[in-house]
A and B are shown apart, each in its own frame.
Chain A
Amino acid sequence: RKEVEQDPGPFNVPEGATVAFNCTYSNSASQSFFWYRQDCRKEPKLLMSVYSSGNEDGRFTAQLNRASQYISLLIRDSKLSDSATYLCAVNVGNDMRFGAGTRLTVKP
């Protein structure tokens, strides 16, 4: 089993839709969780941290489920500009491991 797994997608949704991604991790001792956004031919950029109690940043909501060992990202009222690949990151020991990414395309 991979340390961090994501559904690669692609997710194709219309503008205004709500879309959710999940990311599962294998190390139950992991303590730090993040979502990154990566545009085509660009570097990953930190989107948001994921806190135990869940957290929201505008249209984005991140949640952690320790019992089932997954994190989720919910995007409400999706915009064309949300089209990108979303990578989850989970610490494994002393460093961070990334999922392969979920590709999202928002269509007019």
Chain B
Amino acid sequence: DAGVIQSPRHEVTEMGQEVTLRCKPISGHDYLFWYRQTMMRGLELLIYFNNNVPIDDSGMPEDRFSAKMPNASFSTLKIQPSEPRDSAVYFCASSRTQNYGYTFGSGTRLTVV
């Protein structure tokens, strides 16, 4: 199994631009999670899906953030417009069940200048 695959690995963009992060979960994992990690706030849960349906998006910081999961093998996290304070590492993780150990992707390091 290739694990959780995220792209791009690095993204540098200018303030105001749209950013789209992509994730392919492990096949057979019904849960997909988007986390953001910063030095100040650690790992924060943004949103999670169960069987492609968004279950809890209370962690999404603002309306500028949106996430979709059109099918079991693909999810996107979009930031529009991006701001410098969005700079962080964004991780996608998947799991068989909601309380099973998670497998994380290698993350997308986002820098907004």
Q: Are the C-beta atoms of B105 and A43 separated by less than 8 Å?
A: yes
By secondary structure, the B interface counts as strand
Q: Is B98 among interface residues, defined by CB-CB distance under 8 A?
A: yes
Query: Contacts A95-B56, A101-B42: A49 and B48 contacting too (C-beta < 8 A)?
Result: no
A96 CA to B42 CA in the complex, in Å?
A: 13
By secondary structure, the A interface counts as strand
Q: Is B70 among interface residues, defined by CB-CB distance under 8 A?
A: no
User: Apart from A94-B55, A94-B98, what are 20 other A-B pairs with CB-CB below 8 Å?
Assistant: A31-B99, A32-B100, A43-B91, A43-B104, A43-B107, A44-B43, A46-B101, A46-B103, A87-B43, A91-B98, A95-B33, A95-B56, A96-B33, A96-B102, A98-B35, A98-B42, A99-B42, A100-B42, A100-B43, A101-B42
Q: Is B15 among interface residues, defined by CB-CB distance under 8 A?
A: no
Counting chain A CB atoms within 10 Å of each CB, the highest count among B42, B56, B91, B98 belongs to B42
- CB neighbours (8 Å) of A99 from chain B are 42
Q: Which residues of B contact A (CB under 8 A)?
A: 33, 35, 42-43, 45, 48, 55-56, 91, 98-107
- CB neighbours (8 Å) of B105 from chain A are 43
Q: Are the C-beta atoms of B42 and A91 separated by less than 8 Å?
A: no
